[in-house]
Amino acid sequence: MRDALAAREPGDHPPFWVIAAGKAASAMARAAVEWGGARVRGGVVISPDGDAPAPLHGIRGEHPQPGRGSEEGGRRALAVAAAVPHDAELLTLISGGASSLMAAPVDDITLHDKREATGVLLRSGADIYALNTVRKHLSAIKGGRLATACRGRHHAYVLSDVVGDDLSVIASGPTVPDPSTFGDALFILDRFGGRHAYPDAVVSYLVAGASGDRPESPKPGDPRFASTRTILIGSRVHAMRGAADEARRLGYDVRIVDDAVVGEARLAGPAFVERCLTLVPAMRRPSCIVASGETTVRVIGRGSGGRNQEFALAAAETLARTLSPAAVASAGTDGVDGPTDAAGAFVDGRTVQRGAAAGLPSIDRVLAANDAYYYLQPLGLLIRTGPTGTNVGDLQVFLLA
């Protein structure tokens, strides 16, 4: 954030207001206040902890499902944007998690309706593109609507937690035009659970929108975006570079895999191991392969865990079939994996054997119950960092001694 602001044109320093939302909101806002000094007139920071530097107002939002704080933050952000004079500027600072942390449902939809719809999508394994397409069409702030509420100049700075870094998907794109439609949102409901699984108010609103009876989200070419500039300042690439630099410092021969790790976690984990095993013959020992991305989980059981824990646990079976002294870790860069206190997990070729010796169920049974947490916990394989204050997706690391 400091680097991005330092790159501003000399003399480009009008008074400004700040809206910061996401898991990195507090740190990004501090950088903006340090840079702006007395030119900062006010604003709001919506984050998991509600921390905000003066003179900004802090609000604690909720994640992964929006709550009352999220809605308060969304309404306050819209008010801040609308109050910016035409000769001043709005700085919007966006990071992963903002879709849930900053919410403002349209008038026809309650926060409860939106929570229910989001819950169905999450349990059905919808990826972030599908999830945020629906969110944008149930929101008064997402899908470019925050930008169109501002009369002044508008600079938005974005940290990406989305594979592909699509600005219209990150945080549901509050500052950029939205290429998706009501029809797209209805298709996603049909694909993930069917319309009968969603609240009637949500389905009715999306159907009305697809029929032209509700206003679409602002689209590319809308002149209201003429004064808004949205800039990507960080992504999963930075996390991979950081991990690779540290591995080299520790003496590893390092390879970065540029292709994103995606798909269902329990399938992506073994596939990652298999790919790494094809790469290491050309590397010297010890070897380190770094990748990143974001997988999904289809919830069919009643257990506890997250996508990184499922990824690692599924990878353990593949590692057990190799004779190589290898290990795999997968962790969320935000320090949070699903509804648990872990960021992810690490496993090696002995994990399956250790689990059996401890009397734990088979990995297939554990994955079927979505219960990776309670398999990994007694074996001491969970990665616990606590919230990191940022979010650029998940990081996967393969090590070979």
Same domain for 76 and 66, yes or no, is yes
Q: Which two tokens stand for residue 102?
A: 């900053």
Same domain for 163 and 40, yes or no, is yes
Same domain for 81 and 171, yes or no, is yes
On whether residue 150 sits in a domain, the answer given is yes
Same domain for 171 and 45, yes or no, is yes
Q: In what order do the strands lie in the sheet with 40-47?
A: 57-60, 40-47, 16-21, 89-94, 153-159, 228-234
Same domain for 79 and 143, yes or no, is yes
Same domain for 244 and 175, yes or no, is no
On whether residue 116 sits in a domain, the answer given is no
DSSP string across 114-139:
HHHHHHHHHHTT--HHHHHHHHHTTB
Same domain for 243 and 292, yes or no, is yes
> pLDDT of the chain along its 401 residues, tens only?
999 999 988 776 889 999 999 999 999 999 999 999 999 999 999 999 999 999 999 999 999 899 999 999 999 999 999 999 999 999 999 999 999 999 999 999 999 999 999 999 999 989 999 999 999 999 999 999 999 999 999 999 999 999 999 999 999 999 999 999 999 999 999 999 999 999 999 999 999 999 999 999 999 999 999 999 999 999 999 999 999 999 999 999 999 999 999 999 999 999 999 999 999 999 999 999 999 999 999 988 889 999 999 999 999 999 999 878 999 999 999 999 999 999 999 999 999 999 999 999 999 999 999 999 999 999 999 999 999 999 999 999 999 99
Q: What is the pLDDT of residue 269?
A: 98
Q: What is the pLDDT of residue 302?
A: 87
Residue in this structure with the two tokens 């308060």, named with its chain if needed:
72
Pair 181, 216: CB distance under 8 Å? yes
The candidate with the shortest Cα–Cα distance to 269, out of 208, 319, 323, 225, is 319
Range of the domain at 144: 2-104+139-180+217-234
CATH number, domain at 344?
A: 3.40.1480.10
On whether residue 290 sits in a domain, the answer given is yes
On whether residue 199 sits in a domain, the answer given is no
Q: What is the pLDDT of residue 199?
A: 97
Pair 293, 127: CB distance under 8 Å? no
Same domain for 287 and 271, yes or no, is yes
- Amino acid, single-letter form, for residue 122: L
The candidate with the shortest Cα–Cα distance to 121, out of 269, 177, 129, is 129
Same domain for 150 and 289, yes or no, is no
On whether residue 212 sits in a domain, the answer given is no
Q: What is the pLDDT of residue 64?
A: 87
Same domain for 275 and 395, yes or no, is yes
On whether residue 370 sits in a domain, the answer given is yes
Q: What is the pLDDT of residue 322?
A: 86
On whether residue 109 sits in a domain, the answer given is no
Q: What is the pLDDT of residue 280?
A: 95
Same domain for 312 and 386, yes or no, is yes
Same domain for 271 and 230, yes or no, is no
On whether residue 57 sits in a domain, the answer given is yes
Q: Which two tokens stand for residue 389?
A: 């204050």
DSSP string across 304-336:
---HHHHHHHHHHHHHHTS-S-EEEEEEETTS-
CATH number, domain at 223?
A: 3.40.50.10180
Domain count, the chain: 2
How far apart CA 63 and CA 221 sit, in angstroms, is 32
Q: What is the pLDDT of residue 10?
A: 77
Query: What radius of gyration, in Å, describes the C-alpha atoms of the chain?
Result: 22
